[in-house]
Structure 1
Amino acid sequence: MKAADPAAVRKSRMFLLLVALVFAAPMLVAGLLSWSGWQPGVKGNGHPILPQRNFVAEQLQVRLGDGTSWPWRDSEPRFTLIALAGPDCAAQCFETLTGIAKARVMLNRNQSRLRLLYLGTPPADPGRRAAMQTYWKLGRDIDGKLAAYVPATPDSVSAVLVESNGTALSLYPAGFEVPGLLRDMVKVIR
C-alpha cells in the first residue's frame, strides 16, 4: 500500500474545514445578532407603551353608553383595540374607524378575539354614528387616564392595543396606517 502524500492530506483537510465553515458561518452570525438583541422582522408599526401600563391594576374605568363599565378582563381571552378620537370626529376619523373595523373582519376566524372600543364623542352625523355601533362599543374614559394618548388634531384617531389581561401593548398615534395595524394584530392575535 502506498503512503498518502502529506501535502494532499493537508489540502483535503483544509477543504473539509472550509466546507464546514461555509455551513456554520450563517448560524454563528445569527447567534451573535440574536445575542446582541437584534431580531429581524419583529418591529411593529405601533409604538411600545413604556413604561408598561396595566389598566386593570390602574383601575382605569370606562363607562359605556348603556351605563355599564368596560370589563378589561373578559370571560375569554380577547384583545381590545381602543380608538381615541381627537376633537370633531368627522369624515377622516370615520374613515379610519371603518378601516379598523374592516381590518378586524380580515382577521377571519380570529376576529372574535378582538374587541373594538371607541372613546370620545362619536361623529355628529346620525348615519355614521349608527354604522359605528355595528362594530364598536362606545364609551368614555371616566378619570381621563388615557388623555395622553388622545390626539389634539381635529378629525383624527389614535389607537391603543390592549392585551387580554389589561396590559397596554402599543400606541398607534394619529395618522397611523390601518394596514400596518392589521399586520401587528395578525402577529399577536392567534
Structure 2
Amino acid sequence: MDVQTKKRVQLIAIMLVFLAPMVVAFALRLADWQPNRLRNNGILVQPPQDISADAPRAAVDAAFSWKDGQYRWTLLLIPGPDCAAACEKRLADAEKIWSLMTQKAPRLRLAVLNIEATPERRAQYPRLDYISSSAAALQALRPAAADSVAAAVIDPAGLLMLRFEPGYDAAGVRQDLSRLIR
C-alpha cells in the first residue's frame, strides 16, 4: 500500500468515526425511539388545558385555587364512583409521594376531587385537600369503574399538564413530579 492510499484510508476512517454516531442517531429518530429516562410515565395533555377559571370548593374552610400564588404544583387524585380499599391505597400513595419528594415537597400540594372529607380521612391523610370541582376537563378524567383512581398534574398557573390512567404506578408519578419540580 502506497502512502497516498494509506492517507485516503485514514481519512475515510476518521470520517466514519464522526459520521457513525450521526447515522445511528438519525436511525433512532426515524424509529421514534427515546431513552426510558426521558419518557413521561403519565400522558401529556396536548394542548395543556386551562382550568384556572374554575373555582373549586374546599371541603375544609381553607381557600383553594388552581392558580397557586406560592408556585406549587398540584397532584390531583380523581376517584371513581365508590372509594373503597384501592382508592384508600391511592390516597396513602399520594402521601408517600409527597414524603419522598424530600426538599421539593413544599412545592407540591395534594388534592383529591369530589370525595367526602370524613374526620377519619382528614386525620389519616393530613396533607390532602378535599375539593369539589365541576371543571369539564377534570370530569372527563374521572374513571367509570368503581374503586379506581386516576390522577392529574396541574402546574402553578392552573394548566392541566399530565394525566395518569387508573392503575398508574405511584413510582412513575413521583418520577414525573421530580422532573417537573425544580
TM-score by length of 1: 0.82
Distance 2:120 2:164 in 1: 26
Alignment coverage as a number of residue pairs? 181
Distance change >3 Å, CA 145–CA 70, structure 1 → 2: farther
Structure 2 residue corresponding to 1:13, chosen from 8, 20, 23: 8
Structure 2: stretches of 5+ with no match in the other structure: none
Residues 89 and 123 in structure 1, CA contact (< 8 A), matched pair in contact too:
no
Alignment of 1:139-154 (within 5 A): 139-142=131-134, 145-154=137-146
Distance 2:140 2:82 in 1: 18
DSSP 3-state at the match of 2:82: coil
Distance 1:122 1:43 in 2: 35
Structure number with the higher strand fraction is 2
DSSP 3-state at the match of 1:50: strand
| AA of the residue aligned to 2:77 | A
CA RMSD between the two structures: 2.5
Residues 90 and 123 in structure 1, CA contact (< 8 A), matched pair in contact too:
no
1:158 corresponds to which residue?
A: 150
Distance change >3 Å, CA 8–CA 164, structure 1 → 2: same
Distance 1:173 1:46 in 2: 8
Which one is further off, 24-33 or 108-117? Answer: 24-33
What is the CA distance between 1:101 and its match in structure 2? 1.4
Deviation per residue, 1:41-87 (Å, 9 max, x gap): 3321111223420112xx12210013555222222221111111112
What is the CA distance between 1:15 and its match in structure 2? 2.1
Q: Which runs of 4+ in 1 moved over 6 A?
A: none
Residues 88 and 123 in structure 1, CA contact (< 8 A), matched pair in contact too:
no
2:93 corresponds to which residue?
A: 99
Structure 2 residue corresponding to 1:172, chosen from 164, 167, 172: 164
Distance 2:33 2:179 in 1: 18
Q: Which has the larger radius of gyration?
A: 1
Which one is further off, 19-28 or 36-45? Answer: 36-45
